[in-house]
Amino acid sequence: MEENANAKWAELEFGEIELGDKRRTKRLIKLAKERVEKPNGSIAESCGSKAGTKAAYRLLDDEDIEADAIQSGHQRATVKRLAGEKIILAVQDTTQLKYTSHRATQGLGYLQDLSHQGMLVHTTLVVNPQRVPYGIIQQQVWVRPVEEYQKHHRRKERVTDEKESQKWLTSLGAAARLQAELPESRVVSIGDSEADVYDLFWEAAKLEQDLLVRASVDRRVDHPERRLWEHVKSQEKAGEITIEVPRQAGKKARKAVLEIRYCQVRLRPPQRRYQEELPVISLWAVLAREEVPPSGEEAIEWLLLTTVAVNSLADSGERMQWYTCRWVIEMYHKVLKSGCRVEERQFADLNNLKRYLALDAVIAWRVLYLTLFSRETPNVDCTAILDVPQWQALYCFTHRTKSPPLQPPTLKEAIFWIAQLGGFLGRKSDGRPGSMTIWRGLQRLSDITDAWLVFHD
């Protein structure tokens, strides 16, 4: 029987790691294959046997294994996938993983208050401008100690590397290392308004690493207008661009027409830190505002700050398009929580959870990749993601026939059929199938393929 496509994938993503013992690596590869086939099931459901479940827990309980080591193979595979990409966007964001009901788990911290416990995860995902996610280059995990609760008033007294805002600088460092490995590409680190941190701009200048951040602070500037927004608004209108606003909770996807202004800006350091003699940071600013939003919609207004020069309306539009790719990281975290159901997994302590998360974080990326890759390259052969038994089983099941065609279908066709297995109806009003629908379909396909092999092996 031909080797399973999921087994090939698991070998690619986890085969080049050193866990101190080849048996551990082999067990991890096997567990990755099992998890990708039944990602929203429990570990016992994925492994399918008591012996397999016991081996999985023994691996995840092993204190000699670091969570970072588990993802190291995937990170190397990600760099290889990126070869040839001219623009690489390192989008980053934070999400909470809640384990409030898991009172027995040791080492968790507080979230919004002491009645909610869990951990925080900051992921750096690399995508191309077409929003195809190539992989994770870094994932930071931490907890907020209970003894630090309600001490936010002291945060301005701390240096950046003692604050949670250090996560942005750490991610920027990962982007800089990727840039060094891919000198023919341009790597741009992208963050939302929470990333509007002076030290991040300063660090980008020191590393000579490209950065694009949505501004949230009306900073002092070294210009006659004295404040950032006032200075950018004083520029002449450069024109208009239209962007696609993706579907969000309770809101349909739509197009937005934005008025554009752009200019260079010189940001002055925070006044409270004048004794540090910090430098003025030179950046480019792009202000985009929706003057006539649809009825009931809040007008879009983004002010982007970037190290990448903006000399035209076309440059402005490109920077805006880069920023919209940040939505992929939000999709990723949704798949991680709703698809993998990482918040339902129960372990003895925080380190166990970290090791489990390191594995399922890659599983979540896999499904998101299949979803968005199929949109970018719909006409390629479906064997790019499915092996022969999988696509034959898929075709025969969805078409109610015993005989598959001689030639494999396209990726677009295969993804559509997989989505139908996951409950997608394919009506005109339904748009394209989402990652969660494809996720459910892939799980059904795993069982269908197993049945197919029983009768065709």
Instruction: Quickly list DSSP for 202-223.
Output: HHHHHHT-EEEEE--S--BBSS
Which pLDDT belongs to residue 163?
82
pLDDT of residue 354: 94
The three-class DSSP label of residue 82 is coil
pLDDT attached to residue 1: 35
Distance CA 434, CA 431 (A): 9
Contacts of 73 (CB under 8 A, 6+ apart): 13, 14, 15, 16, 17
Rounded to 5°, angle at Cα 329 from 325 and 330: 105
pLDDT at 2: 44
Q: How far apart are CA 449 and CA 434, in angstroms?
A: 22
Instruction: Name which of 12, 172, 92 is nearest 333 in CA terms.
Output: 92
**Residue 453 confidence (pLDDT):** 75
Q: What is the Cβ-side half-sphere exposure of residue 389, based on CA atoms within 13 angstroms?
A: 19
Residue 141's nearest CA partner among 407, 411, 332, 361 is 361
Q: Give the whole-angstrom CA distance, residue 368 versus residue 250.
A: 21
* Phi then psi dihedrals of residue 267, to 5 deg: -85, 130
> Could you count the other beta carbons within 10 Å of the beta carbon of residue 252?
11
Q: What is the pLDDT of residue 162?
A: 64
Rounded (10°) CA dihedral 45, 46, 52, 55: -110
Cα 134 to Cα 123: distance, rounded to the nearest angstrom: 13
Q: What is the pLDDT of residue 151?
A: 66
Please give the pLDDT value at position 248.
66
Say how far apart CA 298 and CA 39 lie, in whole Å: 37
Q: What is the pLDDT of residues 183-239, one digit of tens each?
A: 999 999 999 999 999 999 999 999 999 999 999 999 999 999 999 999 999 999 999
Regions in the chain scoring below 70 on pLDDT: 1-5, 151-162, 247-250, 376-377, 384, 428-430, 457
Domains of the chain: 68-233+262-286+297-335 (3.90.350.10), 377-456 (1.10.740.10)
CA 177 to chain centre: 18
Q: What is the pLDDT of residue 146?
A: 85
Report pLDDT for 295. 83
- The structure's pTM equals 0.86
Distance of CA 144 to the CA centre of its chain: 22
442 three-class SS: helix
Which residue from 42, 111, 38, 51 is spatially nearest to 366, judged by alpha carbons?
Answer: 38
Q: What is the reported pLDDT for 279?
A: 94
- pLDDT value of residue 171: 97
Amino acid 93: pLDDT: 96
Distant-in-sequence, close-in-space partners of 208: CB < 8 Å, separation ≥ 6: none
